């Protein structure tokens, strides 16, 4: 069985349309929306709203870990647009998010197995998923006699991305799976080599619950995304091969492997 997996799509609809070509099963591990592009500040919802110069300054503050200053910068930008309060901001953002989701789900191959990333908005997905899309979160399915487990979302972080979950709630989702042959998640386990982003120069948030799960149940594979430029893209934990499937928006090609 040829498996293709993508994660961190971040607006790459054109490339997504052909990502399943040649595969038997196609999996998307989330982060479809592009709010902010660290490689191209002129791209994404922040740039659409506030301009490239603002997006660049915002990126620089976040990269430096100056999150309070970044939020203050954003607040001033919203005020300059005459928009105040979270409800008002979301009213403006939702139309742009929906435009991206419409393009991305139109491009999403069918059939596809999907779970959410931390930069996704699960409440909107039912408006866009198609008949051939199966969304899975804290669920296990049988694929040719193998148990495949899926856990979506990210963990609470200073970034305050849309779909962040408390460690306790995330751990409950992981525990609900039971043993699986292949584990699919958006975020990695809490292993320093896997959570460190060499370009952002920081440790992102990985899951201790995932690390504990892998150590206990030893699935054959754990496939994840989230870290765009990881220090190491692979790490073995006991018998389990943990693999970062890559930053699809940057690579433009899916991770592929044969599974039997």
pLDDT digits (tens, 9 = 90+) for 129-176: 999 999 999 999 999 999 999 999 999 998 889 999 999 999 999 999
Instruction: Give 17-41 pLDDT, tens digit per residue.
Output: 999 999 999 999 999 999 988 888 9
Angle at 28 between CA 256 and CA 137, to 5 degrees: 130
**What pLDDT sits at residue 199?**
85
Question: Do the Cβ atoms of 186 and 30 come closer than 8 Å?
Answer: yes
Q: What average pLDDT does the structure give for the chain?
A: 95
Per-residue pLDDT for 87 more than 90?
Answer: no
**What pLDDT sits at residue 85?**
87
Give the end-to-end CA distance of the chain in Å, rounded to a whole number.
6
pLDDT bucket at 90, cuts 50 / 70 / 90: confident
**What pLDDT sits at residue 65?**
87
Q: Which CATH superfamily is domain 2-33+111-258 in?
A: Metallo-dependent phosphatases (3.60.21.10)
Distances (CA, A) of 189 to 89, 152, 194, 227: 33, 13, 7, 11
The whole-number average pLDDT for the span 70-83 is 92
Residues ≥6 apart with Cβ < 8 Å to 111: 26, 132, 133, 134
Per-residue pLDDT for 48 more than 90?
Answer: yes
**What pLDDT sits at residue 200?**
82
Work out the burial of residue 127: count CB atoms within 10 Å of its CB; fewer than 13 is exposed, 13-18 middle, 19 or more buried.
exposed
Three-class DSSP category at 53: helix
**What pLDDT sits at residue 252?**
97
**What pLDDT sits at residue 18?**
98
Residue 224 forms beta bridges with which residues? 244
pTM of the model: 0.94
Instruction: Spell 166-187 as b/e; 16+ CB within 10 A means b.
Output: eeeebbebbeebeebbbbbbbb
Using alpha carbons, select from 252, 230, 254, 234 the residue that is nearest to residue 242: 234
The whole-number average pLDDT for the span 110-127 is 98
Three-class DSSP category at 227: coil
The whole-number average pLDDT for the span 67-73 is 92
């Amino acid at each position: 069985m040829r498996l293709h997996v993508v994660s961190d799509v971040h607006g790459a609809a054109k490339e997504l349309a052909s990502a399943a070509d040649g595969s038997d099963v196609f999996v998307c591990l989330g982060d479809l929306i592009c709010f902010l592009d660290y490689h191209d500040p002129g791209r994404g919802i922040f740039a659409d709203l506030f301009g490239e110069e603002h997006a660049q300054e915002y990126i620089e503050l976040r990269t430096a870990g100056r999150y309070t200053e970044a939020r203050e910068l954003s607040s001033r930008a919203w005020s300059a647009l005459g928009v105040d309060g979270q409800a008002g901001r979301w009213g403006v953002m939702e139309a742009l998010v929906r435009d991206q989701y419409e393009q991305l789900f139109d491009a999403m191959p069918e059939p596809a197995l999907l779970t959410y990333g931390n930069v996704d908005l699960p409440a909107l997905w039912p408006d866009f998923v198609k008949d051939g899309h199966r969304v899975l979160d804290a669920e296990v399915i049988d694929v040719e006699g193998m148990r495949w487990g899926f856990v979506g979302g990210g963990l609470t972080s200073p970034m305050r991305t849309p779909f962040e979950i408390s460690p306790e709630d995330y751990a409950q989702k992981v525990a609900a799976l039971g043993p699986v042959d292949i584990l699919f998640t958006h975020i990695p386990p809490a292993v320093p080599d896997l959570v460190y982003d060499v370009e952002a120069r920081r440790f992102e948030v990985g899951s201790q619950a995932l690390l504990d799960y892998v150590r206990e149940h030893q699935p054959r594979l754990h496939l994840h995304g989230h870290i765009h430029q990881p220090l190491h893209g692979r790490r073995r934990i006991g018998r389990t091969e943990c693999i970062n499937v890559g930053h699809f928006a940057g690579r433009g090609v899916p991770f592929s492997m044969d599974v039997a």
